[in-house]
C-alpha cells in the first residue's frame, strides 16, 4: 500500500519577525510550488529526496524536523515497520517559501492516511509546528497554517489562523534572490537587537501594526495603501540588517519600474522578495529588468 499527500508553499506578505512576538501577520499560499510525500512499505527505513537518498534516521541534521514527525507518527501507530518515504516536487529551500513546513505537513498527512490514524486537524498541526520549532529554533505557527490553507491567512499566535477570501485586485511579483537565508540566524539577530535597544523592540511592534493595517487596506481593495505599507515594513526590516545589497538593488529597480511597494518576505538575509504591482504588465517588466539578479520569479494575481 502506498499513501501520498501533496502540500504547497507560501509567502509572507507582511509581519515576518513580528509574528514571533505575538503580533499580526498576513501570508498567502503559493499553489504552484508543491511537494508530495509518499509513504510505502520497505525493507529498511528509507528517505528519498532530490538531495538525499539513504537511511531515514541517519539523514543530515537539516532533516531533524522530519525525523521527529516520522518517529511521532510511528509511535502513534504503535509500529516499528520500516517505510520508504519519497519526496517529489521542488520548493527552493532557505528562501522563505515554507519548504520545511510543507514537507512536515505532507509527511504527517501521508502517514496519517497510511496508518489510518484519523488524527484531528489540530493534532496534525501540532506535530507540524513542533517540527518547525526543531528546524528553526522558534516558530510562530504561521508557515504551518499557510501551507495548510487554500486562502490568504491572517495570523496571530493568540487567535490562531483566520482565512481571508477577499482579493486586493492587484498583482504580486515574487522573486528569488538565489541567496540562502537562515531563519535561525535572522530570528536570533532580531532578538539580540531587541534586547539591546528598546527602540528596536518598538519597531517590531510597529511591524505588527502594519500587518493589521494591511488587512484593513486589503479588504478595502486599496492597492496604493498596501504598497505604501510594504515600503514602510521594508524600512523596518532594513533597520535590523535583514536586507542584503542585492535586495536593496532589487528594491530600487522594482520601484523605478512602477511597483506600488516592495519588501523582503520571510526571515531575510537573502531568500525571496515581493513587489506589489498594479497589473501583470508591470510585474513582468520588473521581472525582466531584474533577470540578472534573480534565480526565478513567479507572478500571482491577488
What does the pLDDT look like over 72-91, one tens digit per residue? Answer: 999 999 999 999 999 998 88
* Stronger pLDDT, 24 or 181, i.e. the higher one: 24
From residue 265, alpha-carbon distances to 57, 75, 288 in Å are 32, 36, 20
**Contact, 105 vs 129, CB < 8 A?**
no
Q: Which long-range contacts (CB under 8 A, 24 or more apart) does 214-218 make?
A: 214/13, 214/14, 214/26, 215/24, 215/26, 215/154, 215/164, 218/26, 218/152, 218/164, 218/166, 218/168
Distance, in Å, from the CA atom of 140 to the CA atom of 129, rounded to the nearest integer, reads: 8
Residue 97 has pLDDT above 90, yes or no: no
* Residues pairing with 274 in the sheet: 174, 263
pLDDT at 138 over 70: no
Q: Looking at the predicted structure, is the pLDDT value of residue 55 above 80?
A: yes
Torsion angles phi and psi, residue 42, rounded to 5: -155, 165
**What radius of gyration, in Å, describes the C-alpha atoms of the chain?**
19
248, HSE (Cβ side, Cα atoms, 13 Å): 10
- Distance, CA of 231 to CA of 234 (rounded, Å): 5
CB 172, CB 299: distance < 8 Å: yes
- Name the more confident of 226 and 266: 226
Asked if the model's pLDDT at residue 180 lies above 90, the reply is no
Mean pLDDT of 48-65: 94
DSSP structure class, residue 160: E
User: How far apart (Å, rounded) are the C-alpha atoms in residues 240 and 200?
Assistant: 8
The structural domains of the chain, ordered by start, are 3-163 (3.30.230.10), 167-301 (3.30.70.890)
Beta strand segments in the chain, E: 3-14, 25-41, 46-48, 53-55, 83-89, 152-156, 160-164, 171-176, 261-265, 272-277, 296-301
**pLDDT higher than threshold 80 for residue 95:** no
- Helix and strand element counts for the chain (H, E): 9, 11
- Burial call 93-103: b when 16+ CB within 10 Å, e when fewer: ebbbbbbbbbb
Q: How far apart are CA 28 and CA 145, in angstroms?
A: 10
**What's the whole-number average pLDDT of the chain?**
94
Residues whose CB is less than 8 angstroms from the CB of residue 286 and which lie 6 or more positions away in sequence, other chains included: 173, 253, 254, 257, 258, 259, 275, 277
Report yes or no: 144 and 130 within 8 Å, Cβ to Cβ: no
CB atoms within 10 A of CB 235: 13
Beta strands in 56-151 (DSSP E): 83-89
- Its pTM surpasses 0.85: no
Amino acid at each position: 500500500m502506498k499513501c501520498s499527500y501533496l502540500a504547497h508553499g507560501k509567502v509572507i506578505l507582511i509581519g515576518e519577525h513580528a509574528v514571533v512576538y505575538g503580533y499580526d501577520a498576513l501570508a498567502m499560499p503559493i499553489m504552484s510550488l508543491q511537494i508530495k510525500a509518499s509513504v510505502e512499505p520497505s525493507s529498511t527505513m528509507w528517505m528519498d529526496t532530490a538531495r538525499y537518498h539513504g537511511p531515514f534516521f541517519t539523514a543530515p541534521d537539516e532533516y531533524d524536523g522530519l525525523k521527529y514527525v516520522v518517529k511521532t507518527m510511528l509511535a502513534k501507530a504503535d509500529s516499528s515497520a520500516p517505510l520508504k518515504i519519497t519526496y517529489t516536487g521542488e520548493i527552493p529551500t532557505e528562501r522563505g517559501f515554507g519548504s520545511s513546513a510543507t514537507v512536515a505537513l505532507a509527511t504527517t498527512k501521508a502517514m496519517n492516511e497510511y496508518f489510518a490514524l484519523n488524527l484531528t486537524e489540530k493534532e496534525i498541526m501540532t506535530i507540524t509546528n513542533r517540527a518547525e520549532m526543531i528546524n528553526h529554533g522558534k516558530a510562530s505557527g504561521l508557515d504551518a497554517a499557510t501551507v495548510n490553507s487554500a486562502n490568504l491567512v491572517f495570523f496571530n499566535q493568540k487567535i490562531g489562523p483566520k482565512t481571508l477570501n477577499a482579493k486586493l485586485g492587484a498583482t504580486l511579483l515574487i522573486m528569488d534572490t538565489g541567496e540562502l537565508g537562515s531563519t535561525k540566524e535572522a530570528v536570533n539577530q532580531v532578538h539580540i537587537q531587541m534586547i539591546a535597544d528598546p527602540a528596536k523592540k518598538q519597531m517590531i511592534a510597529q511591524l505588527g501594526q502594519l500587518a493589521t493595517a494591511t488587512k484593513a487596506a486589503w479588504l478595502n481593495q486599496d492597492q496604493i495603501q498596501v504598497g505604501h505599507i510594504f515600503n514602510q515594513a521594508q524600512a523596518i526590516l532594513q533597520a535590523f540588517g535583514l536586507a542584503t545589497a542585492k535586495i536593496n538593488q532589487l528594491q530600487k529597480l522594482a520601484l523605478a519600474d512602477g511597483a506600488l511597494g516592495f519588501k523582503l518576505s520571510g526571515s531575510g538575509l537573502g531568500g525571496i522578495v515581493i513587489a506589489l504591482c498594479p497589473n501583470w504588465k508591470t510585474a513582468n517588466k520588473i521581472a525582466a529588468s531584474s533577470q540578472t539578479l534573480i534565480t526565478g520569479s513567479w507572478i500571482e494575481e491577488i
